[in-house]
Amino acid sequence: GDSVTQTEGQVALSEEDFLTIHCNYSASGYPALFWYVQYPGEGPQFLFRASRDKEKGSSRGFEATYNKEATSFHLQKASVQESDSAVYYCALSDRRPNYNVLYFGSGTKLTVEP
């Protein structure tokens, strides 16, 4: 079945550090890939997506590039801020008529110290 693996469970950084959160996927078809962010007490928020190989998604300074060969969609940000502290989820969506399914990774908790 389809699945997403996030390597890091927790990441602790200082402001202005470079961020990488690793995401690898397994899917039978050609999935769309997503990043979501969740702040405490809130529902997950869509960050960005990519639907085809080599496409870059980006938002709020975060970016990731769809790599079909490596089955990866790693999240990066050049300079993190304290306000970026949250849980980040990588997800995939495969084509399923009549359904709208996101398969999520286990999440990565990012803590940014001032």
Partner 1 sequence: VTLLEQNPRWRLVPRGQAVNLRCILKNSQYPWMSWYQQDLQKQLQWLFTLRSPGDKEVKSLPGADYLATRVTDTELRLQVANMSQGRTLYCTCSAGNWGTYEQYFGPGTRLTVL
Name the residues that contact partner 1, by CB under 8 A: 31-34, 36, 42-46, 49, 51, 87, 89, 91, 93-104, 106-107
For residue 39, what are the contacts with CB-CB under 8 A and spacing of at least 6?
45, 86
Q: How far is CA 97 from CA 5, 43, 93, 94, in A?
A: 25, 25, 12, 10
Q: Which C-beta is closer to partner 1: that of 98 or that of 114?
A: 98
Q: Which C-beta is closer to partner 1: that of 97 or that of 114?
A: 97
Distance CA 46, CA 81 (A): 19
Q: How far is the CB of 73 from partner 1 (least distance, A)?
A: 12
Q: Which C-beta is closer to partner 1: that of 17 or that of 67?
A: 67
